[in-house]
Amino acid sequence: MTVAEIIIENGRLVTFDDSNNGCAEAIALAGGRILAVGSNAEIGAMRGPDTRTIDAAKCTVLPGFIESHIHLFSGGLELGLLDLSSSHDIETVTARVRAYSAEQPDVPLLYAIGAHYDLLGPGRMIDRHGLDRVIPDRPFAVMAADHHTLWANTRALELAGILRGGPVSEGSEIVMGADGLATGELLESGAYEHVLAKTASGGRDLLGMTTGNDPSPPATPQQRAADKAVLRDALRHLAKTGVTTFHNMDGNLYQLELLSEIEAEGDLICRGQIPFHLKNFDPVDRLAEADEMRRRFDSDWLWSGRLKLFHDGVVESGTAAMLRPYPNWPDSTGAPLFAPEQFNEICVRADAMGLQISVHAIGDAAVRGTLDGYAAARAANGVRDSRHRIEHIEVLHPGDLPRLRALDVVASMQPLHAPWGGLFAPPEEGQVLHEDQKPLAYACQTIRETGVPLIFSSDWPVVPVEVLPSLGAAVAPKVLGGNWTDQRQNLHDALASYTSTAAYAEFSEGRKGRLAPGMFADLVILSDDIENTAPQEVGALSVRLTICGGRVTYDVG
């Protein structure tokens, strides 16, 4: 009998493996794999003199969490920034920003994150004038929590050289006022990259996400070292949350090379997939770079093989693409970032290359356009096991609900993005959504019930990457009433969306996502027994220990 390197005993194992009826109390690990799952007595027989034994103390043991949608570099970089997500009035914002300014006397531009659209107070527009009142004597900018809008004060706009407007890429906008000056509202990365270039990081928090390009000019040795330090911070933070695999949603060769160096140095403590990010202004021939990334990186710890696209923006700023005008912006439906013919061509070519496709699609027009692209790929290339994904699906037309299953789409959604998740307030009546759109808005359970594979994530740093609060939102959502529908999740379904189904979404269901012999030794021990925790208390649980590849990557001690 093989001797275990690590034995976890006295646990409440949730295995997602039918061979042991989905539950057991102990597990043995060796060589980066799971040796056996069973009773304390069965697993105890595999103990040797050097075996490390961990007492789970009747707490839940799960497969390691698979975080299916994050932005690793920006998440790591934002760990040390001023977070204004809990601020909703100008007095609080002013006090916090001025205190932060005193702590950061030498940075060229004060930069904060996490702003909700009511940052300065309910119904109060965020513009340069409001931010000038917050701090008039230094350049200051704050990123929206959704990362699709940045607001800047007058000094920041002057520093960036865009107070009177400036160049932006298609789909982005420097909003201009009647006085011919920028209002301070910068929509999408092509507009706000001018301001971020003046932050202490030089805008490097958008590596990959803004353009999908490698740094130009190439990163200096000092920049490479600094960028690797950011990635290491991000990886440690993921391990602390029980994450053993992440799916990045921005990517380029540079990110893969940095992570590969970290792996060679023995510090890659989470497995990760980095896609190729193609923007709407890129030539389709850039898909050759996606193929190069797939060929160069294809290990159990670091791989590519996926294409990421943005089809639209977000509903809060009116940049999500809708099938009819917004109720509060009757002249606007937003706009898809790709023309239908362009998007369909990309889908057909990427699918023919065998790439998996992930598309950010929030508005119902963007979701429909994405489905049309996937249908075009099938018509041109035939049906294959593609597992193409749609990210977010916040607004869905009833006619497109059955198409998700018919096209074998994987739905990738974020419980804490939904108004019922508790972090973001629902829009007021007559704002953002029509009343008849609400029944299929953020419709996780409705989509799940059609048989569509549903995976969960955070979109970190849009919301915190900690998994338990997202699970808590899924199993105990806020009751919104009105036309909002109950999207409450069964606990085991929600857990599967972070484990077994998430493994399926990355074609790894035979290697991870279950606690079974031969699977990767990726697992997490929680602070209590989640199956005997009241749904409304699930979000308060925490991670006690994380193991990835048979190595303890986080231990609360």
Decide: 64 and 243 in contact? Cβ < 8 Å: yes
Q: Which two tokens stand for residue 125?
A: 């527009």
Q: Where are the domains of the chain?
A: 6-64+519-555, 74-205, 311-456
Q: What is the mean pLDDT of the chain?
A: 95
pLDDT at site 208? 53
Identical fold at 6-64+519-555 and 74-205? Answer: no
Q: What is the mean pLDDT of residues 230-258?
A: 95
Domain 6-64+519-555 has CATH 3.40.50.2300: no
pLDDT at site 22? 59
pLDDT at site 206? 73
Distance separating alpha carbons of residues 514 and 516, to the nearest angstrom: 6
Chain centroid to Cα 460, Å, comes to 5
Q: What is the pTM of this model?
A: 0.94
pLDDT band at 216 (very low <50, low <70, confident <90, very high): confident
Distance separating alpha carbons of residues 61 and 78, to the nearest angstrom: 30
The CA distances from residue 231 to 73, 78, 228, 365, 555, in Å, are: 6, 11, 5, 35, 20
Residue 170 confidence (pLDDT) above 60 = yes
Task: Give DSSP secondary structure letters for 335-361.
Answer: --SS-HHHHHHHHHHHHHTT-EEEEEE
CATH of domain 74-205: 3.10.310.70
Least confident range of 216-225, 318-327, 386-395: 216-225
Q: What is the mean pLDDT of residues 389-408?
A: 98
In this structure, which topology does domain 311-456 adopt according to CATH? TIM Barrel (3.20.20)
Least confident range of 279-283, 456-460, 473-477: 279-283
Residue 391 confidence (pLDDT) above 80 = yes
pLDDT at site 383? 98
Handedness of CA 227, 229, 232, 237 (dihedral sign): negative
pLDDT at site 54? 98
Residue of 176, 174, 214, 213 whose CA lies nearest to 193: 174
Decide: 275 and 358 in contact? Cβ < 8 Å: yes
Distance separating alpha carbons of residues 286 and 46, to the nearest angstrom: 52
